[in-house]
Amino acid sequence: MVRDVEMRIDIFNKVIELAEKKRKLIDKGQSYSNEDMELNNYLDRLTFEDIKVLQTVMYLGRDKDYDSKMSSAEIYREQRGFFDNEGWQRKEIEAGQMSEKTPLDRYIINGLDILNIDRTYKYAKGIEAYKSNLGIFEKSYVLLIVTPRDKFPESTDNKLVNEFLKGIFPNKDKYIGIYEESRDEILQDVYFRMRVFPLIQDKYNYANMRVIYRANKQEIESYFAVKEFYDQVSKCVSESRALYKGLDKATSFLDKYPLNDFDVKIVRSERYDDGCVFLDEMSFENSDGYHFEYFFCSN
């Protein structure tokens, strides 16, 4: 994956669109001053880092000088490292070096193809697309559960259940109050097993066959994107920036919990009487390859 490029795919698509309009007029021998101004104005609004990423891909697509045995991430890092070592001039100069190139759109498309970047990548779709990936259409608790491979708990296997609870509650001796917050009424792991565990356990169908659902990479990315959005929205962080940060966290999560070695499940609950409302009162201390976390999607 080439995160620096993927997180800016909407910018790449816009530059391609503007550059293509300009190039087609040039090819026809027609005036392109308005289109040239539109492209330059757009580039002027971008950050210097945006310009550097765009230019790296542009020159990759123009020169096509790369080692095909390398991964996309390695190709990008080598190309970007070359320009970083050479040194950058002022932002407006670097932007001008792009806008003056008539085949700019083709260079960028070639560069994206070399990096195997999908121009319809979901970064450009926004928060609603990620929520849709998770089936979130109203206020919901969204739970993320991780266990070592083939250790996911089910109600008929007390050993698996106990190992899971020990993994997320190493220190079980904490009480929570469910009727009066100030009172120690019930152990948190006992309440979790009674009211939350039924939501996350593997289910059985009418033929008594175990129904196994595991989260895929896209769903995990969506989970962290949406979670980060709701964590950051109150801090005046832009939607796109929050989503980018969430996707970075998804990458770190998958590095720590590769899907070949761990079972990952995402569960959504829209009910308010299932015990999720008391998750904030609990203390989770993930260990031994077990992990539990959650967030509340407020709308």
Q: Using DSSP, state whether 295 is helix, strand or coil.
A: strand
Gap between the Cα atoms of 297 and 291, Å rounded: 20
- Say which range, 63-67, 217-221, 270-274, has the weakest mean pLDDT: 270-274
Gap between the Cα atoms of 266 and 143, Å rounded: 6
- Count Cβ neighbours within 10 Å for each residue of 145-176 and write b for 16 or more, e otherwise: bbbbeebbbbeeeeebbebbbebbbeeeeeeb
pLDDT reading at 108 higher than 90: yes
Q: How far is CA 148 from the centre of its chain?
A: 22
Report DSSP state, residue 202: P
pLDDT reading at 39 higher than 80: yes
- Say which range, 62-66, 215-219, 225-229, 238-242, has the weakest mean pLDDT: 238-242
* pLDDT mean over 115-122: 75
Gap between the Cα atoms of 299 and 290, Å rounded: 29
* pLDDT mean over 147-152: 94
* pLDDT mean over 145-154: 93
Which residues contact residue 168 at a Cβ distance below 8 angstroms, ignoring those fewer than 6 apart?
284, 285, 286, 287, 290, 291, 292
pLDDT in tens, 175-196: 778 777 677 788 888 999 998 9
- Whether 184 contacts 192, CB under 8 Å: no
Per-residue pLDDT band for 97 (boundaries 50, 70, 90) equals very high
The percentage of the chain sitting over the pLDDT mark of 70, rounded to a whole number, equals: 93
Looking at the DSSP assignment, which residues form a beta bridge with residue 211? 203
**Greatest mean pLDDT among 120-129, 202-211, 243-252:** 243-252
Place of tokens 């330059």: 40
Task: Name which residue leads in pLDDT, 263 or 208.
Answer: 263
Per-residue pLDDT band for 120 (boundaries 50, 70, 90) equals low
Quote the pLDDT of residue 209.
55
Q: Using DSSP, state whether 15 is helix, strand or coil.
A: helix
pLDDT in tens, 161-175: 999 999 998 776 787
- Whether 160 contacts 49, CB under 8 Å: no
- Whether 292 contacts 168, CB under 8 Å: yes
Gap between the Cα atoms of 31 and 47, Å rounded: 29
Burial of 126 (0-12, 13-18, 19+ CB in 10 A): middle
- Whether 105 contacts 20, CB under 8 Å: yes
Quote the pLDDT of residue 272.
62
Task: Name which residue leads in pLDDT, 6 or 15.
Answer: 15
pLDDT reading at 210 higher than 60: no
Q: Using DSSP, state whether 11 is helix, strand or coil.
A: helix
Gap between the Cα atoms of 67 and 255, Å rounded: 25
- Count Cβ neighbours within 10 Å for each residue of 238-264 and write b for 16 or more, e otherwise: eebebbbbbbebbeebbeebeeeebbb
Number of residues assigned to the chain: 299
pLDDT in tens, 46-56: 889 889 999 99
Quote the pLDDT of residue 124.
46
pLDDT reading at 206 higher than 60: no
87: left (phi over 0), alpha (psi -120 to 50) or beta: left
First to last CA, the chain: 31
Residue 250, both tokens: 């998804």
